[in-house]
Structure 1
Amino acid sequence: MGKKTSLPKIVIIGGGTGLPVLLRGLKLFPVDITAIVTVADDGGSSGRLRNEMDIPPPGDVRNVLAALSDVEPLIEQMFQHRFAKTNELSGHSLGNLILAAMTSITGDFVHAIQEMSKVLNVRGKVLPAANQSVVLHAELEDGSFISGESKIPYSGKKIKRVFLTPENIKPLSETIHAIREADLIVIGPGSLYTSILPNLLVPGVGEEVCKARAKKVYICNIMTQAGETLDYSASDHVKAIYDHMDCSFMNTILVNSEDIPSHIQLRYKEEFAKPVHFDIDRLKEMGLNVLQDEIVSHEGAYIRHDTKKVASILYELLINETETKIYRKQ
């Protein structure tokens, strides 16, 4: 019998809308995926369940499970269904309620995710950044503080730094193991201060990413975000992560090379957002390998990363990295 070859391992760290978009494309490739998802969300359905049931917020995890699922479209649609009528279920998504129920039954959020992964035939592993709720706080440039992931973007002030409470947050052993075993680690895409950094700030997670032997890729956002990254260049995004981590750990950054249509820019201007300035020379000065490509998908009036294009680029990087490792061992 021939020796069974294991799939190359990729770890993706993020949350919000960016992570599921990327995973939908990546699951089509022969890779071993681990998605590490933020548990700092405190708004909407997630926030209500978090407060009422004292469980980690299920929303970001739900979206990732749906993105990696391999079930009939109607089943995924049901899992993602949000109740709209004005009653006690108003605003809740069915998937959030199922995850909350499964957590109550099993007594453990991680176990609930594992069971739902089986039901949804998930291609990969979904891990919360911590097996508990965490609170995200921001110190603003004027010295004031604001608490709550959902409130931070609406402060109207520039963010100096973000941090988590409680202080004794413990990372999952599975998360640490996945980071150590990864062939490629991907950061983003997603909101810089409220989706990406809450993962890296969990004690042990950021340190392991810094130390990991795997190459690290940052997928830079296409547009700036009011309340978080107003007027940020690509290097400003990277610097903010480095400042919080106290280490410079990224090898590669993927940036968009495509012009954003003026009518879409006009739409984003109403939200005080604009295309991120990709200061290539500065990024190279920071020691980063800069990959530029047309990675934009136009979904109506909104801009998203092109899931198939980005997944293809990451898969190529992953294969190059695993082939290099094999070559080194020979």
Structure 2
Amino acid sequence: MTTIRIERDQSLPDDLRVARAQSAPHLGPRILFFSGGSALNDISRQLKRYTFNSMHLITPFDSGGSSQILRKAFDMPAVGDLRSRLMALADESVLGQPDVYALFSHRLSKTAPQGELRSEVAQMIAGQHPLISAIAKPMRQLIQTFLDSFGKAVPEDFNYRNASVGNLILAGGYLSNGRALEPVLFLMSKMVDVRGTVRAVVDENLQLGVELSDGRKIISQRLISGKEAPPIDSPIARCFLSDGTSELTASDVELPKRNRTLIEQADVICYPPGSLYSSVVTNLLPGGVGNAIAQRRAPKIYLPSLGADPEALGHRLSDQVLALITPLRADAGADTRPTRLISHVICDRSVPEADCNEVTRQTGIQCHRLPLCTVEEAKYDPTKIAKILVSLD
């Protein structure tokens, strides 16, 4: 058998590919994202109009907000970003499961007394809460089982304020399934008819750490992102995974085989907008990620965030690209060409042309400036991004 490699010019967006995907989204391209946070959710909501086959490897290392409360209570990975992406990809039409979606998306009051909130959750466990009673059996019984597991294990001093009920259900499912996320993520995906695949990049309870240019090390995502602590005042030089006290190597945290298979199947690989280190680079740290990406012949796209990113202090566009490439090359081999890891940078035309030229000069990666922002504000237009991504298949 003879194998030949064919390269082609590509128009963006490609109207024919977009129309084909929209007419048969169940046959749409397998677009793989390495991400976390909420920056990709609006794009995900548009993308499910064109493909039901997107794949999302999500960081479970978040340590802020309600995820941090659950992590402390149950010594578990973070589930907030996972639940958020499941909801973004869920079938929100009347043909889906609107009652289940409403429950998973519900948040408890930010201000009510703890006793009142505890009582509300107890009503859910007993099946007496309106959001639970609206769900038909046997799905209702399964959800109650997960909530019951949560209720039996929850500490007395647990802070329920502003808690996502979907996160509580995920926590209960995690405890019910031998402290594993994969089974409960699969079940929740089926409950709300998720138009894609959502997985934790690794099913482990770890923390993100960074080393700053001045030599200091910081462990914990919430201390890095600038959302719950003062912004870092020195550029990030590198990041790593930690057990909470010491640094782990890539060989200590291996990419699961099931997630490597997703990379091997991807038609397009995307490093999407989001906090540079805590949402994107963190997913590239487990052993095996870089090698799997290098081996896959598919478009590999970086969509840099627009606006200020506290984690990218002092970073030009070329520095952001190198931040992605560095951990990937550490895994795939120091001699791996950058273009095997990122084939193109696609950004809004507001990014200076000189910055794009510098990326190409340093790495050989092509950088394309396109009109991708909404008219009203300097944010990516989710529909434009979705159309470009399905055009790359």
- TM-score relative to the length of structure 1: 0.83
Q: 1:278 to 1:174 in 2, by over 3 A?
A: farther
Please identify, of 161-170 and 183-192, the stretch whose mean Cα deviation from structure 2 is larger: 161-170
State the Cα deviation string for residues 270-323 of structure 1 (Å, max 9, x = none): xxxxx7886121123222222322222378xx75321111000111111xxxxx
Tell me the CA shift for residue 105 of structure 1: 1.9
**Which residue is equivalent to 2:355?**
279
**Which residue is equivalent to 1:140?**
212
**Which residue is equivalent to 1:326?**
none
Aligned match for 1:46, one of 67, 70, 92: 67
Aligned match for 2:309, one of 219, 222, 225: 225
State the Cα deviation string for residues 240-299 of structure 1 (Å, max 9, x = none): 2122322521001110114xxxxxxxxxxxxxxxx7886121123222222322222378
Identity %: 31
**Which residue is equivalent to 1:238?**
321
**Larger of the two Rg values belongs to structure:** 2
C-alpha distance in 1 between matches for 2:202 and 2:264:
17
C-alpha distance in 2 between matches for 1:173 and 1:46:
26
C-alpha distance in 1 between matches for 2:387 and 2:372:
11
* 1:110 aligned onto 2:182: yes
Aligned match for 1:131, one of 203, 212, 216: 203
* 1:290 aligned onto 2:367: yes
**Which residue is equivalent to 1:253?**
345
Write out aligned runs for 1:2-151 (5 A): 7-30=28-51, 32-72=53-93, 75-83=100-108, 84-86=110-112, 87=114, 88-107=159-178, 108-151=180-223
State the Cα deviation string for residues 142-170 of structure 1 (Å, max 9, x = none): 11111101101333222111100243223
C-alpha distance in 2 between matches for 1:46 and 1:217:
29
**Which residue is equivalent to 1:313?**
388
C-alpha distance in 2 between matches for 1:177 and 1:165:
25
**Which residue is equivalent to 1:268?**
none
SS at match of 2:300: strand
Q: 1:170 to 1:35 in 2, by over 3 A?
A: same
SS at match of 1:284: helix
Q: Would you say the 8 A contact 1:21–1:305 is kept in 2? A: no
C-alpha distance in 2 between matches for 1:140 and 1:233:
16
State the Cα deviation string for residues 19-71 of structure 1 (Å, max 9, x = none): 22221111111352111101110111111111211221101101100110003
Q: Would you say the 8 A contact 1:232–1:277 is kept in 2? A: no
Q: 1:102 to 1:251 in 2, by over 3 A?
A: same
State the Cα deviation string for residues 152-189 of structure 1 (Å, max 9, x = none): 13332221111002432232222100101111111111
For 1:238, the aligned partner's letter is V
Q: Would you say the 8 A contact 1:224–1:232 is kept in 2? A: no
Query: Which structure features the higher share of strand residues?
Result: 1
Write out aligned runs for 1:159-198 (5 A): 159-166=236-243, 167=248, 168-198=252-282
C-alpha distance in 2 between matches for 1:311 and 1:278:
26
Please identify, of 119-128 and 238-247, the stretch whose mean Cα deviation from structure 2 is larger: 238-247
C-alpha distance in 2 between matches for 1:29 and 1:7:
6
Q: 1:184 to 1:144 in 2, by over 3 A?
A: same
C-alpha distance in 1 between matches for 2:286 and 2:43:
23
C-alpha distance in 1 between matches for 2:81 and 2:270:
17
SS at match of 2:301: strand
C-alpha distance in 2 between matches for 1:80 and 1:316:
31
Q: 1:159 to 1:277 in 2, by over 3 A?
A: farther
**Which residue is equivalent to 2:131?**
none
- TM-score relative to the length of structure 2: 0.70
C-alpha distance in 2 between matches for 1:209 and 1:85:
46
Count of residue correspondences: 295
SS at match of 2:241: strand
For 2:111, the aligned partner's letter is K
Residue ranges of structure 1 left out of the alignment (5+ in a row): 259-274, 319-330
Q: Would you say the 8 A contact 1:68–1:122 is kept in 2? A: yes
* 1:203 aligned onto 2:287: yes
SS at match of 1:150: helix
CA RMSD, Structure 1 to Structure 2 (Å): 2.2
Residue ranges of structure 2 left out of the alignment (5+ in a row): 1-25, 115-158, 226-230, 330-335
Tell me the CA shift for residue 79 of structure 1: 2.1
